[in-house]
Structure 1
Amino acid sequence: MRQCLLIACRFLCSLLSLPLLLGQVFGLRAAYKRLFPLLAYKITFSYNAKMNRMKKELFRKVCNFAKSDGSLRLLEIGCGSGANFQFYPYGCTVLCADPNPHFETYLKRSMDANTHLTYEAFLITSAEDMKELDDECVDVVVCTLVLCSVRDVKMVLREVRRVLKTGGAFFFMEHVVSKPSTWTFFLQYTLEPLWFYIGDGCRITRATWKDLEKAGFSQLHLQHIQAPVTSVIRPHIMGYSIK
């Protein structure tokens, strides 16, 4: 009975998302891609306030992967508006990458607000194919709330391993699917067709930790947490992998 209700509710939500699908077919997605960075930028302040303690806990380990001379080159994929800049260690060089060029305006605001960092470049590129970057060219890669919306998580993780130096680390914080028996899972499964369009490709039923476990890193430090955010994206994973 529960399974039938779950399928019926998802079907209803899929019907409600049809106008958004049609809008995408007729070219409105391009207009939304211009609007989405503004929405994401506004949401950043609320999310960072709620996740401040957890982000500090995660990123305090970044400095452990600096070179012997203290320098550290960090690549953030899906950098968005630069929500993580405030948590990075003083003096590190940050390379930003995002497929949406319209984030640049908001990214510059974050750069101006975080002068303790050096900024190298903003690459407009897909995380699945970062051909602009050489093999083993960065000490750290960071990715937060990004693997939910990439086309292929496995390809992204292969690229992360390629650009990371041996001994370097990949830091992540992502919302993930809940346990199937929970009310949160019911909401996630039901709302995903609509959420996908509103969230610019975000999928809320991905078990991303499984991809990380199979990605071939030498070490994986991962924890499941319940983030103090809206229930549909409350289940999170955070941690880091070492190449």
Structure 2
Amino acid sequence: MEIPASSNERSIFNLRQRWFASCFSVLTPVYQGMLGQEKQKLFEDFRTSFPHRDDDGLENVPLFLEVGPGPGTNFKYYPTSPCNLIVIDPNLKFKPQVMENLKKFPHINLIGFYETGIEGVSRFVKDNSVSIVIGTDVGCSVPDVKAYYDNVLKVLRPGGKFYYIEHIRAEEGSMLRFKQRVFKKWWEFHGCGCQLDRDLDKQIKTAGFSGVDQTTFYLDMSQISWYYKTFVFGIVPRHVRGIATK
């Protein structure tokens, strides 16, 4: 995401980022509660995939890249063995929350937190160097979906994996699809560019990965309030989770 050039545009941009970070902090516990079981399924073999011995040396510790981590809700799913981590996010308003959350996970060695979208990743990450890329609810707001997947493939080492969860467009002809059309511009403004009508489940299959294993699911909203059902998560109940291999 490119930051606007003029001072007025930059001020509005910063205000929207601050607003989004504040709203996200309020909504995160509710959203993560609904995603909990799906994340457990996504990362079920993740925590044991990287055995590490003390004599392996730092050069053998796997390198992870997380794109747009928000406040760092995925850290608890990381392997319990040491790993190096690079974080990129165009919204620095999340950085204090990420740094605070990382204190709970001393085995995660943060190499750098860089203020950039995925389009700027090559400035900070070498090609073919990353074991795991994680992106949850990122593809909905990137400027160019194809470029997003191209950059993920670029930094992944051969055999590396991309773990993702995204909300996706409702089925054509459904009442939910009509609702998404009505709220599209409102949602985009308040969600810092988040799009309601992307078929990310289809687009990743043609992105150039050697394999894509994914599952479509709907959020379980049985335990949330009517407000969240009507005006927030009821607009984006359809999701996809998956693992794509380079």
Determine which of 135, 138, 152 is the counterpart of 2:144.
152
Determine which of 102, 116, 127 is the counterpart of 1:135.
127
Q: Secondary structure at the match of 1:130?
A: helix
Determine which of 72, 83, 97 is the counterpart of 1:82.
72
**Alpha-carbon distance, 1:115 to partner:** 3.1
TM-score by length of 1: 0.84
Deviation sequence 1:156-210 (CA, Å, 0-9, x none):
1000000000000001000000101211111111101110001111001110122
**For the Cα contact (< 8 Å) 1:37–1:106, is it kept in 2?**
no
Q: Secondary structure at the match of 1:236?
A: strand
Deviation sequence 1:193-242 (CA, Å, 0-9, x none):
11000111100111012220111110100111112252211000101100
Residue ranges of structure 1 left out of the alignment (5+ in a row) = 1-23
Query: Residues 42, 114 of structure 1: CA spacing in aligned structure 2 closer, same or farther, 3 A cutoff?
Result: farther
**For the Cα contact (< 8 Å) 1:74–1:93, is it kept in 2?**
yes
Determine which of 105, 109, 134 is the counterpart of 1:114.
105
TM-score by length of 2: 0.83
Residue ranges of structure 2 left out of the alignment (5+ in a row) = 1-7, 222-232
Query: Residues 116, 133 of structure 1: CA spacing in aligned structure 2 closer, same or farther, 3 A cutoff?
Result: closer
**Alpha-carbon distance, 1:51 to partner:** 1.2
Which shifted more, 199-208 or 115-124? Answer: 115-124
C-alpha distance in 2 between matches for 1:157 and 1:26: 27
For these two proteins, the number of residue pairs brought into alignment is 220
Deviation sequence 1:84-126 (CA, Å, 0-9, x none):
1111111222221101122111111211233342222111111
C-alpha distance in 1 between matches for 2:119 and 2:49: 24
C-alpha distance in 1 between matches for 2:236 and 2:161: 25
Determine which of 39, 61, 67 is the counterpart of 2:45.
61
Aligned pairs for 1:165-184 (under 5 A) are 165-184=157-176
**Alpha-carbon distance, 1:50 to partner:** 1.6
Which shifted more, 108-117 or 133-142? Answer: 108-117
**For the Cα contact (< 8 Å) 1:65–1:168, is it kept in 2?**
no
The CA RMSD measured in Å over matched residues stands at 2.0
Percentage of identical aligned residues: 27
